Amino acid sequence: MIEIEHLTKCYGSFRAVGDVSLSIPKGQVLGLLGPNGAGKTTIIRVMTGYLPPTLGRASVDRFDSVTQSQEVRRRLGYLPESNALYGEMRVIEYLDFRGRLFGLSREARRAAVERVIERCWLKEMRRRQIGRLSKGYRQRVGLAAAMLHNPPVLVLDEPTSGLDPIQIRETRHLIRELAGDHTMVLSSHILPEVEVTCDRIVIIARGAIRADGTVDQLRQKAGDVQRYVVEAQPGPEAATVCEAIGRLPGVTKVDAISGDGWMRYEIAAASGTGDLREALGRVVSEKRLPCRELHRDSGSLEQLFVRITAEVEAA
């Protein structure tokens, strides 16, 4: 449904996105994950036809986003990151205006406006001026406007920014509901969000794709490196603990952090070295140190995300 081929976008001499290729099949919910400034919004803006690529191309439903921009726009519902709205308009006026821009007839417009007002929980706010709405409600108006013409593709840039926890849950629920008959791209830097809502996750950092897969695949990838945490009291033997742990098979890194009278050891080990918990327990007991915690972190997206961004930053 959406094809991005060798997309490069430069702003002056700054290369925001470099050689990104991505194919999103019909019905998929794709999460673009990345730290701020990674290039998510740029990719989305090229996809929607708002910006032309410097090199490469993007297409939606086989329509080119530059040469057939109008066709692309008709098929696309877009919630921009800034979600800028006309503050002087009432919610219902704004949605009606958007309906006109998409060429909906009077009846179709009325029905569409009612539908999205219902779906985005805007009923009580329908006659309110947009400028007087809270950020959360404004976000809903932006979402309603994106859904208004019932497009097959929805592109939502940071859809839950500014929402309170309950609204975030409701929005995630709505996104899951819409997922059935829409192809969706949503960008976020909030991990649980994409984890819960997306079929597939693409991690972007410094303008390039760093990881791409389903939530499970990425979790597995995150588990490539096993992590353990040990918290013990710092005794006279403490200095040798790091050393002893470091000698265990497969251990690649040991960090010792002291705080509130306890010493926290964060251990990274290569995968395929088996479970090190028993060995770690032995080390601590041999040194006769009181221990209050010993556990293994299962691979999480967050670890992968942090690792990837750290690697990219270090490079």
Partner 1 sequence: MKQTIAIARRELLAYFSTSVGYVVLALFLLISGLLFALTTLHTGVEASMRSFFDLSFFLLLFIAPAISMRLISEEMRLGTIESLMTCPVSDAQVVMGKWIGAVGFFLAMLAPTLLFPLVLEWYSAPDYGSIFAGYVGLILVGSLYLALGTLASAIWPSQILAYLVAVFFWLIFVGLTSWLPRFVGDPWSAILFKMSVELRYSNDFAKGVIDTSTIIYFVSGMVLFLTAAVKIVESRRWR
**314 part of the interface to partner 1, by CB under 8 A:** no
Our CB check for partner 1 shows the closer of 129 and 300 to be 129
Give CA–CA dist 84/139, Å, rounded.
9
In angstroms, what is the minimal distance from the CB of 88 to partner 1? 4
Pairing of strands 76-79, 208-214: unpaired
Q: What is the spatial distance between Cα 231 and Cα 238, in angstroms, rounded to a whole number?
A: 11
C-beta of 21: minimal distance to partner 1 in Å? 22
Q: How far apart are CA 59 and CA 185, in angstroms?
A: 14
228: left (phi over 0), alpha (psi -120 to 50) or beta: beta
Among residues 32, 4, 33, 1, which one has the least CA distance to residue 18?
4
Report residue 154 as tokens.
């929805």
**Binding range to partner 1, per CB under 8 A, among 83-91, 253-261, 272-280, 288-296:** 83-91
Question: Does 84 participate in binding partner 1 (rule CB under 8 A)?
Answer: yes
Cα dist. 67→8, 57, 61 in Å?
17, 10, 13
Give min distance, CB of 134 to partner 1, in A.
18
Q: Which of 24-32, 89-97, 215-223, 301-309 is the region at the interface with partner 1 (rule: CB under 8 A)?
A: 89-97
CB of 145 vs partner 1, minimal distance in Å: 7
By CB under 8 A, is residue 101 in contact with partner 1? Answer: yes
Q: Does 121 bind partner 1 (CB under 8 A)?
A: no
Q: Which residue in 6, 26, 100, 123 binds partner 1 (CB under 8 A)?
A: 100
CB of 193 vs partner 1, minimal distance in Å: 22
Strand order in the sheet with 2-11: 14-24, 2-11, 55-60, 63-64
The binding site for partner 1 (CB under 8 A) comprises 45, 48-52, 70, 73-74, 76, 78, 80, 82-86, 88-89, 93, 97-98, 100-103, 142, 145
